Structure 1
Amino acid sequence: MTQTRNEHDLLGDREIPAAAYWGVHTLRAVENFQISGRTIGEIPELVRSLAAIKQAAALANADLGLLSPERRDAIVAACEEIRAGKLHDQFVVDQIQGGAGTSTNMNANEVIANRALEIMGHQKGQYQFLHPNEHVNMSQSTNDVYPTALRLATWKGIQKLIGALSSLRGAFEVKAVEFADILKMGRTQLQEAVPMTLGQEFNTYAVMLGEDEHRLAEVSQLVCEINLGATAIGTGITTHPEYAERVRARLAEITVIPVVTAFDLIEATQDCGCFVQVSGVLKRVAVKLSKTCNDLRLLSSGPRAGFNEINLPAKQAGSSIMPGKVNPVIPEVMNQVCFEVIGNDMTITMAAEGGQLQLNAFEPVIAYSMFRSVDHLVAGCATLETNCVRGITANRDVLKETVRRSIGIVTALNPYIGYAAATEVATEAHLTGRGVYELVLEKGLLPKERLDAILQPETLTRPAAFVA
């Protein structure tokens, strides 16, 4: 028989496994919320953020003479262990839950209290010496702890994503330099447009990623505004007048995140606009990454019946029936990550809109969606960089022949032979299959030396003075 201990709450008594650091409130939440199959312990940054908040609160309360040094030290020690990665398996509540995150906060209170009791030399569940609600949760409410924890964890996630995007950008920049001398045809609406270099094409992907790094850095500042000290609805009831500032300072010291207390705590407690904006930037990242992957799949299509301009690294067999087929599986998986992020943005939008009066009860699904978006984007960027971008090669002969045969180069001749003559050449080239180059010479529109000078890569791919 498994040993148990008895714990009591407003609904009655329950038996808790003696070895568990969680207690009765967590047990009821586990029974009530069997939704995603993913526990809050599977979000390490959220657990660490909760522990940092509880540690900061214990220090602030002790500074104000509200918590004894012995209890403070025990709570701080327990929180430091959790922040170091211990006891995360004890955070067992489902990520999606009712109650505006109360079950998550209770889970944290109970784990920290029971570990602190052990540190003090007591048994788990001996709450007369240190209580989850009276001491670990002192001067707090779920309604300020939970959103603050989400903001801290989101800030950490954004930094990881910025790093992943920066690394992927670097891989595209390397390819831009490698392909700088390769002339190709640019396309608009999938039709041949004018020449460019493959390096210019790949540099575009790097620039897009760099822009999103800046947008993420901007939005990360929003999540630094916290409502800790607001307690239930933002009035700060049950807190010391100096508590909000003291706990903010302690939290900044512990996390090294530049947190600031919101100007109006009542507004901050009910407003989820920050998460909507973060999610909007994540969607922006996803949209642009997905578009880039669409391009990579299109440019590598073939090998005989497609563009075949670049080669993606072959990673696995592409068919159970077609021998030799290789698919662009890495861009495809990145596409799917991006589709998920875009869908998560809608979930976050509706959850933020669904709040009522002084609190939004739907922050758990905001957290669930937000952290999945960030984690999957980080993993997707690493996969795209390592398993795809670094190994891309160019089919130089194919690109050269495409430019030679293209009608699009006639655009470069407009300033020299005029729009009407250029149109005539383009039409005849299209109907006869002959090249623009030979038709211009045949019609005597330009001498060969001048035509050769006009069609040089440096003239075709950037602003340039007219060739005399």
Structure 2
Amino acid sequence: MRIEHDLLGEKAVPASAYYGVQTARALENFQISGRQISDYPELIAGFAHTKMAAAKGNTDVGKMDREVRDAIIKAGEAIIAGNYHDQFPIDPYQGGAGTSTNMNVNEVMANVALELTGHQLGEYDIIEPHDHLNMSQSTNDSYPTALKVAIFQNNDKLVAEIENLIEAFRNKGDEFIDILKMGRTEMQDAVPMTLGQEFHAFAAALETEISFLRDAEKPLFSINMGATAIGSGLNAPKGYAEKTTRHLAKQTGKPITLADDLFAATWDQHAFVAESAALRSLAIKLSKISSDLILLSSGPRAGLGEINLPPMQPGSSIMPGKVNPVIAELMNLVSYRVIGNDVSVSLAARNGQLQLNAYEPLEAIAILDSQRLLGNAMQTLRERCVDGITVNENTLEAYIERTVGIVTALNPVIGYERATELAAEAYRTNKGILEIIREQDILTEEQVNEILDPAALTGLDKKKYRR
């Protein structure tokens, strides 16, 4: 053990630990969720980037020695590479606006920097968690900045998964482009479409979510480094904020800028609220699509049964042969959780007081969890569901033959009044429109085939879907 001290006095810390006394106290205070900051490697990397940029900015204005800066950069690079993450053991659920997490980072990076330069852990007279790693900073500017870095870097991965899922739906749309089926509104037969159009619509709907997400992330690029405690910049030298911001932009490859009003930027949670709203929107869209897949595959013999989802596992402990749409259901479960996380972000953002919001740790948990859940669930939906979907063409043909909805296409040929009479007769006799047409020789078979042509019936333009 080694002995460290803080405001509250001395405390023993494991000799091999890279964290220090404040992390040890946080471990005692916050035993809440059974999770650790190490479960959020993107947040750890975001902090490492932030501390590296701050070290560079402090050196640029003459406040930090180059040797210390270089040691901090080496420590940050090692952490970004995935090393030392087991040294972030504190619970992400914590009071104090994230101070425990910030100090965990400061202590670990200080000790890693010491070790990499040939010194012993805890030799804080050389590199110190407060004086060097937290130089010109407060938790109130470094925590939100690190979180923003974590979120927008996660967004790149999330968008890639959305794009992969879009491609999967497009592929199925191409495969099913000529297969005629009935469209439905308010769960009632409407007018025909093709199954390919339905799947291409899934893809198009998800494309709008990428645009929404990219627009929502723009506020994440505005940071408050140099604000220190409340926005006044106390203890941050002139020029530090601007230089640190430029370094962070260069490190991440993102258009990061310094907020115009650091007082507002220190308490305003707009960036996190907007990001969470975009994730909620994506979740809602994915849930709607997944529910449609469940409905279209229902049965398989006493439901719609239009498509088949690939069987993944036996569905019942009592009903032999039953297979459930478990992957689409999983997507719904994840979507509901993301929507709940968005409520948490909204409440946390609402309940900040005066010059600071102390609830950013909850926003961090909610948003980072939502990103991870959505990314993993979309990959699973694509690989274990969408890619393996097949169609029951005979079922779709039977629905077209028996539907009354196709009567709308007869309006230009036989007139609205006669078409209405046919619809009423079809309902009264429980026959299909096409069956009645053929029985009464209302149209020739050639005319029927012309009406049933997918291009004429659905407005299908294959050029629209060519890639």
TM-score of the alignment, normalized to the shorter chain, above 0.5: yes
Aligned-pair CA distance for 1:463? 7.7
Of 33, 38, 43, the residue aligned with 1:41 is 38
Q: CA deviation at 1:408?
A: 0.8
Aligned equivalents of 1:7, 1:435: Cα separation in 2? 84
- In the other structure, the counterpart of 1:9 is 6
Q: CA RMSD in A?
A: 1.3
Structure 2 CA distance for aligned equivalents of residues 142 and 62 of structure 1: 20
Check if 1:385 corresponds to 2:377. no
Q: Check the 8 A contact 2:217/2:274 in 1, yes or no.
A: no
Counterpart Cα distance in 2 of 1:130 and 1:443: 94
Q: Alpha-carbon deviation of 1:187?
A: 0.7
Gaps of 5+ in 2: 462-467
Q: Distance in 2 between matches of 1:435 and 1:368?
A: 55
Following superposition of structure 1 onto structure 2, how do residues 130-149 of structure 1 map, counting pairs within 5 Å? 130-149=127-146
Q: Which residue is equivalent to 1:193?
A: 190
Match of 1:223, SS state, is helix
Q: What letter corresponds to residue 453 of structure 1 in structure 2?
A: E
Deviation string, structure 1 residues 79-118 (Cα, Å, up to 9, x no partner): 1111111101101111111000100100000001111122
Instruction: Report deviation, 1:452.
Output: 3.2
Question: Displacement, 1:439?
Answer: 2.4
The reply to whether residue 160 of structure 1 matches residue 191 of structure 2 is no
CA distance in 2 between partners of 1:451 and 1:284 (Å):
43
After TM superposition, give the deviation of residue 36 of structure 1 in Å: 1.6
- Offset at residue 454 of structure 1 (A): 2.2
- Partners of 2:272 and 2:62 in 1: CA distance: 35
How much does 1:128 deviate?
A: 1.4
Cα distance in 2 for residues equivalent to 1:288 and 1:169: 12
Amino acid paired to 1:70: E
Partner residue, 2:178? 181
For the 8 Å contact 2:401–2:435, the answer to whether it is kept is no
In 2, Cα distance between equivalents of 1:51 and 1:448: 73
Q: 1:337 aligns with which of 334, 339, 348?
A: 334
Q: Secondary structure at the match of 1:161?
A: helix
Aligned to 1:239: 236
* 1:115 alignment counterpart: 112
Corresponding letter in the other structure for 1:434? K
Are 1:398 and 2:395 matched, yes or no? yes
Distance 2:37 2:348 in 1: 19
**CA distance in structure 2 between the partners assigned to 1:80 and 1:415 by the alignment:** 70
Report what 2:465 is aligned to. none
Displacement of 1:39 in angstroms is 1.1
> Partner letter of residue 287 of structure 2?
S
Identity %: 53
Checking the alignment, whether the CA contact within 8 Å between 2:351 and 2:357 is kept in structure 1 is: yes
CA distance in 1, matches of 2:135, 2:435: 85
The alignment of Structure 1 onto Structure 2 pairs a total of residues equal to: 461
SS of residue paired to 2:346: helix
Q: Select which of 446, 451, 454 maps to 2:451.
A: 454
DSSP-derived class of the 1:36 partner: coil
* Partner of residue 347 from structure 1, selected from 323, 344, 347: 344
Which whole-Å CA distance do the structure 1 matches of 2:199 and 2:2 have between them? 63
- Equivalent residue in structure 1 for 2:23, among 12, 23, 26: 26
Letter in 1 for 2:446: E
Instruction: Give the distance between the partners of 1:69 and 1:81, measured in 2 at CA.
Output: 18
Task: Map 1:15-414 to 2 at 5 A.
Answer: 15-414=12-411
**Stretch moving more, 260-269 or 408-417:** 408-417
Secondary structure, aligned partner of 2:299 = coil
The TM-score with structure 2 as length reference comes to 0.96
Task: Name the amino acid aligned to 2:412.
Answer: P
CA distance in 2, matches of 1:439, 1:296: 32
Whichever residue aligns with residue 39 of structure 1, its letter is Q
Tell me the amino acid that sits aligned with residue 447 of structure 2.
R
2:217 match: secondary structure: helix
Amino acid at match of 2:91: D
Q: What is the CA-CA distance between 1:444 and the residue it aligns to?
A: 5.7
Deviation at 1:416, TM superposition (A): 2.3
- CA deviation vs aligned residue, 1:170-214 (integer Å, no higher than 9, x gap): 000000000011001111111111111000011110001111111
The change in CA–CA distance for 1:438 and 1:333 in structure 2 (over 3 A counts) is: closer
- Alignment deviations for residues 279-313 of structure 1 (CA, whole Å, 9 cap, x no partner): 11111100010000000001101111111110000
How do 1:427-466 residues align onto structure 2 when only pairs under 5 Å count? Answer: 427-443=424-440, 445-462=442-459
Inter-partner Cα distance in structure 2 for 1:316 and 1:63: 60
Runs of at least 5 residues in structure 1 that lack an aligned partner in the other structure: none
SS of residue paired to 2:340: helix
Counterparts of 2:86 and 2:108, CA distance in 1: 10
Show CA shifts across 1:355-391 (max 9, x none). Answer: 0110000000000000000000000000000000000
TM-score, normalised to structure 1's length? Answer: 0.96
CA distance in 1, matches of 2:309, 2:372: 25
Helix, strand or coil: the match of 1:185? strand
Measure the CA separation in 2 of the matches of 1:236 and 1:258: 22
Tell me which residue corresponds to 2:464.
none
Query: Deviation string for 1:194-246 (max 9, x for gaps)?
Result: 11100001111000111111111222222111111110001111011100111
Greater CA drift, 74-83 or 443-452: 443-452
CA distance in 2: counterparts of 1:443 and 1:119, whole angstroms: 91
1:150-189 deviations in Å (ceiling 9; x for gaps): 1000101111110000000000000000001100111111
Q: What do the CA deviations read for 1:38-65 (whole angstroms, capped 9, x no partner)?
A: 1111111110110111111111111211
Report the AA paired with residue 325 of structure 1: K
Deviation at 1:130, TM superposition (A): 1.5
